């Protein structure tokens, strides 16, 4: 008889997204993303970090300085990295992301042809960045759904 405590596809793909987030060196924000096609295959993953060759040790991770000396000038968001890292077309795909996409990432999601967003946190829902995202996603018919991720016991699974 098969076991009943296996995780759902949503938990599985959000699990990959949240594991990817743990790779981020950002001291304040860790975000992960996982893009999945209509055959439930992972075609791209990413987390927030600096571009290739832009050293984590030489460039600033702070956020209270001038733009030149803050992370905002240099960091690539998880969604953008997942789209850029994709191994096949993301047209009509679903992106799992631990945090609701910002307006810049929503532009990329729309233009890349991704049709669905699944997210866990929308802690910036009161900001204009979030509202601009929603405004664009609605206009472009990209759906977004908050999912309950729950707690996955990774360690227990590999005992």
Comparing CB distances to Zn ion, the nearer of 27 and 150 is 27
**Which one-letter DSSP state was computed for residue 67?**
G
CA 5 to chain centre: 26
Q: Does 33 bind Zn ion (CB under 5 A)?
A: no
Sheet strands (E) in 100-140 = 116-121
Question: What part of residues 71-90 is at the interface with Zn ion (CB under 5 A)?
Answer: 77
Q: Does 130 bind Zn ion (CB under 5 A)?
A: no
Closest C-alpha among 86, 87, 68, 70 to residue 78:
86
97, 105, 114, 137: residue in contact with Zn ion (rule CB under 5 A):
105
Comparing CB distances to Zn ion, the nearer of 13 and 119 is 119
Burial class (CB in 10 A: 0-12, 13-18, 19+), 6: exposed
Comparing CB distances to Zn ion, the nearer of 36 and 77 is 77
Phi/psi of residue 65, each to 5°?
A: -100, -170
Q: Per the residue annotation, which of 39, 79, 128, 151 is the catalytic one?
A: 79
Q: Is 145 a catalytic residue?
A: no
- Applying CB under 5 A, what is the total number of residues that bind Zn ion? 3
- The structure tokens listed for 135 are 């405004």
Instruction: Using CB under 5 A, list all residues that contact Zn ion.
Output: 77, 102, 105
Give me the active site residues, please. Answer: 79
């Amino acid at each position: 008889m098969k076991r009943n405590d296996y995780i759902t596809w949503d938990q599985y793909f959000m699990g990959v997204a949240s594991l990817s987030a743990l790779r981020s060196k950002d001291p304040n924000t860790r975000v992960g993303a996982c893009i999945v096609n209509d055959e439930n295959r992972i075609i791209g993953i990413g987390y927030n970090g600096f571009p290739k060759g832009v050293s984590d040790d030489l460039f600033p991770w702070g956020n209270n300085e001038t733009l030149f000396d803050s992370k905002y000038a240099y960091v690539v968001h998880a969604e953008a990295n997942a789209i850029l890292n994709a191994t096949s077309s993301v047209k009509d795909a679903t992106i799992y992301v631990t945090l609701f996409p910002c307006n810049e990432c929503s532009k990329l999601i729309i233009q890349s042809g991704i049709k669905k967003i699944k997210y866990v946190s929308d802690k910036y829902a009161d900001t204009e960045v979030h509202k601009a995202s929603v405004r664009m996603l609605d206009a472009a018919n990209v759906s977004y759904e908050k999912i309950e991720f729950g707690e996955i016991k990774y360690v227990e699974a590999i005992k």
